[in-house]
Amino acid sequence: MTVPTHMRAATYHRYGRPEEVVSVRDVPVPEPGPGEVLVEVRAASVNALDWHFVTGLPMFARPTLGLRRPKRTVPGADVSGVVAAVGPDVTGWGVGDEVLGEVHGGGFAEYVVAPADWLVAKPASLSFEQAATIGVAAETAIQGLRDWGSLREGESVLVNGASGGVGTFAVQVAKALGAGHVTAVCSTLNVENALKLGADRVVDYTREDAARLLTSSGTTYDVLFDNAGVWPLRTCSRMLAEGGRYVMVTSPKSRWLRPLPRMLANPLYFAIGHGTSAGFKVASHSTPDLEQLAGWAGSGVITPVLDRRYDLEDAGEALRAQGEFHARGKSVVVP
């Protein structure tokens, strides 16, 4: 495979609204170092993580993101594509292999360097666009339910925010892990999809007060997977069965502190209240989890839900839409 010297990439060099600060430029193609491979990107998924990197919000995260200007200049943490070159000391991958996995940013480009051990084989039954979605969102679902929520076979799960990338994966992963019952909370637009994905019950929060309905019914859950972060902690605790676990994986976006106050309050509140809390959690990379999730997707146990497809030139618009919290599944950027 012939690799060019330059490529197109969606870049940003200052914080701001994605549609204003992200633009496509010609940049040098990176070279893989020891333990790395160069991937020709066929698709990259859009994550909330990318929105935070581009906007620099919330402000308390700036020490990590870059105090005055971004440390990263190309978004994109999940990709699928074809191995174009391998660096020194790489075994197991060869030029032409179809892969999916995670990268240290840079996915919104025609080529990206990836740690060789952060990639797994793309199932032949999946398109590149579907494969690109299996990363941060799916790992958040499996780690949130299995590890942080300690979900056991036969237990009940409430997924608040059962749309978007994480939510659609959470409903399916809960079932794959053996949940006996899954209730999904979403908008009218996503009710039918949640049922198709395996939810046993769907509550439409645009038609009724979901929190009031669930607490007044007396039904409780072993795991509350909170992919919205808008319900008061007192309300969440009332939805938990004895020994129930509360897992929060997102919160409404804000300029300064969110989700910091809730991150600090979660363990304290549940320590003196009902149930237990795993606090605010962010997924970490796990190649074994990626292999598990890719295997499930390849065999039809879980199905990536694609929302929108954006050309590379529209990467800023893709990130703007991501920040509005109205996705129906995972969106992808295609170079």
pLDDT on residue 68? 87
**Cβ neighbours, 10 Å, residue 118:** 19
Q: Are residues 235 and 259 in the same domain?
A: yes
Phi, psi of 10 (to 5 degrees): -85, 115
Compute the distance between CA of residue 72 and CA of residue 248 in angstroms, rounded to an integer: 27
Cβ pair 275, 237 in contact under 8 A: yes
Compute the distance between CA of residue 74 and CA of residue 13 in angstroms, rounded to an integer: 9
Residue 74 lies in a domain: yes
How large is the average pLDDT for residues 47-57?
A: 92
Residue 321 lies in a domain: yes
pTM for this one?
0.93
CA nearest neighbour of 73 among 19, 37, 134, 25: 25
Compute the distance between CA of residue 202 and CA of residue 10 in angstroms, rounded to an integer: 38
Compute the distance between CA of residue 189 and CA of residue 172 in angstroms, rounded to an integer: 18
Q: Are residues 219 and 270 in the same domain?
A: yes
Domain that holds residue 168: 136-280
Q: Are residues 256 and 151 in the same domain?
A: yes
Q: Are residues 328 and 265 in the same domain?
A: no
In whole numbers, what is the pLDDT of the chain averaged over residues? 92
Residue 219 lies in a domain: yes
pLDDT on residue 270? 63
pLDDT on residue 250? 81
> pLDDT confidence of 271, banded at 50, 70, 90?
low
What is the secondary structure of 270-317 as a DSSP string? HHHSSSEEEEE------HHHHHHHHHHHHHTSS---EEEEEEGGGHHH
pLDDT in tens, 115-163: 999 999 999 999 999 999 999 999 999 999 999 999 999 999 999 999 9
Token pair for 270:
């549940």
Tally of domains in the chain: 2
Residue 287 lies in a domain: no
Q: Are residues 151 and 253 in the same domain?
A: yes
pLDDT on residue 102? 97
Cβ pair 145, 166 in contact under 8 A: no
Q: Is the pLDDT of residue 276 over 80?
A: no
Residue 295 lies in a domain: no
Compute the distance between CA of residue 333 and CA of residue 314 in angstroms, rounded to an integer: 8
Q: Which of 125-129, 217-221, 234-238, 247-251 has the highest mean pLDDT?
A: 125-129
**Higher-confidence residue: 67 or 100?**
100
Q: Are residues 198 and 248 in the same domain?
A: yes
Instruction: Give exposure, 86-112, as e/b (b: 16+ Cβ within 10 Å).
Output: bbeebeebeeebbbbbbbebbbbbbbb
pLDDT on residue 277? 66
Q: Are residues 121 and 174 in the same domain?
A: no
Q: Are residues 26 and 123 in the same domain?
A: yes
Q: Is the pLDDT of residue 3 over 70?
A: yes
**Cβ neighbours, 10 Å, residue 217:** 10
How large is the average pLDDT for residues 210-224?
A: 94
Q: Are residues 34 and 97 in the same domain?
A: yes
Compute the distance between CA of residue 14 and CA of residue 24 in angstroms, rounded to an integer: 14
**Higher-confidence residue: 264 or 100?**
100
How large is the average pLDDT for residues 259-287?
A: 66
How large is the average pLDDT for residues 40-50?
A: 97
Query: At 208, which CATH number?
Result: 3.40.50.720
Q: Are residues 210 and 276 in the same domain?
A: yes
User: Which residue shows structure tokens 């991150």?
Assistant: 263
pLDDT on residue 265? 56
pLDDT on residue 257? 45
Distance of CA 257 to the CA centre of its chain: 21
Q: Are residues 265 and 319 in the same domain?
A: no
Percent of the chain at pLDDT exceeding 70: 91
